[in-house]
Amino acid sequence: MTQSMIFFDLDNTLLNAEKEVPQSAKRAIRALQNDGHIVAIATGRTPFAFDHLLEELDIDTYVSLNGQYVVSKGEVIYRNPLNTEALKELTASALEHEHPIVYIDHKDWTSNKENDASVKHAIGELKIPQELKYDPDYYIGRDIYQALVFCTDGEEQVYEERFDQFDFIRWHPVSVDVLPHGGSKAKGIEKAIEKMGIAPENVYAFGDGLNDIEMLRAVQNSVAMGNAEEIVKEAAKSVTKSVDEDGVEHGLKLVGLLK
């Protein structure tokens, strides 16, 4: 049997709307592991936001923070923080436009504005047990791997035009991810499979979001969830059912990894 490596996005791919892993997905992951395959996570989330899932699913390899912080077999193998000086300038610009920012590293997350309604709403939907703290200076003197700018659709254009050090990817109607330019889940996966010695033709990826597009295009065996937007489905080689229709299990059968 040829060993394959399968990367799963979390929100709306491996996790349903209640942020739970469907029983069919758990069953599928166990079957993959029993067959000797490597199951990994590829998510925009920070490690503290899914460590309980790693334990529950017996997974020790992941691409987190949209590819900026990669762990293989429990060992950190890649870090790609945001440019500190550019982040300082972005913060000043966001303050001028009254757009809150959340700073995220692998251990914590903080907001530069207290009790903002849009921040509370979007962050609350993620159902992460670790409380979002208030600390406007958190980014100073430490590596920040991802930031969130809270603005509505189209308002991010002012930042896109000014900050070529960053990529801005919408993940919520009121917020965009801020990533190092060129940083992506695809880049993180590249680092992980290089470390694990897995051939590209044996790599699979499942995703549903806009931040999954580059990953789905880069991986030879890519599967978009049925609940994904059309632009995401167009980036994938295959399309499975939605997360609520046992999409992970169905997709693995579709690509021949499960019977």
Verify whether residue 9 is a known catalytic residue: yes
Note the pTM of the prediction, 2 decimals: 0.93
Averaged pLDDT for residues 61-72: 98
Residue 222: what pLDDT? 98
Q: Which of 9, 105, 167, 246 is catalytic?
A: 9
Q: Would you place residue 142 in the very low, low, confident or very high pLDDT band (cuts 50, 70, 90)?
A: very high
Amino acid, res. 202? N
Q: What is the third-level CATH fold of 84-180?
A: 3.30.1240
Cβ burial, residue 186 (10 Å; 0-12/13-18/19+): buried
Longest dimension (CA), the chain: 58
Give tens-digit pLDDT for 94-134.
Answer: 999 999 999 999 999 999 999 999 999 999 999 999 999 99
What's the start-to-end Cα distance of the chain, in Å?
A: 14
Task: Decide: helix, strand or coil at residue 17.
Answer: coil
Q: Determine the pLDDT at residue 1.
A: 66
φ and ψ at residue 230, rounded to 5 degrees: -60, -40
Instruction: For residue range 189-222, list pLDDT tens digits in order.
Output: 999 999 999 999 999 999 999 999 999 999 999 9
The mean per-residue pLDDT over the stretch 73-102 comes to: 98
Where helices occur in the chain by DSSP H, the ranges are 23-34, 51-57, 84-96, 117-126, 157-162, 185-196, 213-218, 230-235, 247-254
Report pLDDT digits (tens) over 149-163. 999 999 999 999 999
**Predicted pLDDT at 72:** 97
What are the domain boundaries of the chain?
5-79+183-254, 84-180
Confidence of residue 143 (pLDDT cuts 50, 70, 90): very high
Q: What is the mean pLDDT of the chain?
A: 97
Determine the topology of domain 5-79+183-254 in CATH: Rossmann fold (3.40.50)
CA–chain centroid gap for 24, Å, is 22
- The pLDDT assigned to 36 comes to 97
Q: Please name which of 88, 91, 109, 108 lies closest in space to residue 100, comparing C-alpha atoms.
A: 91
Predicted confidence at residue 238, as pLDDT, reads 98
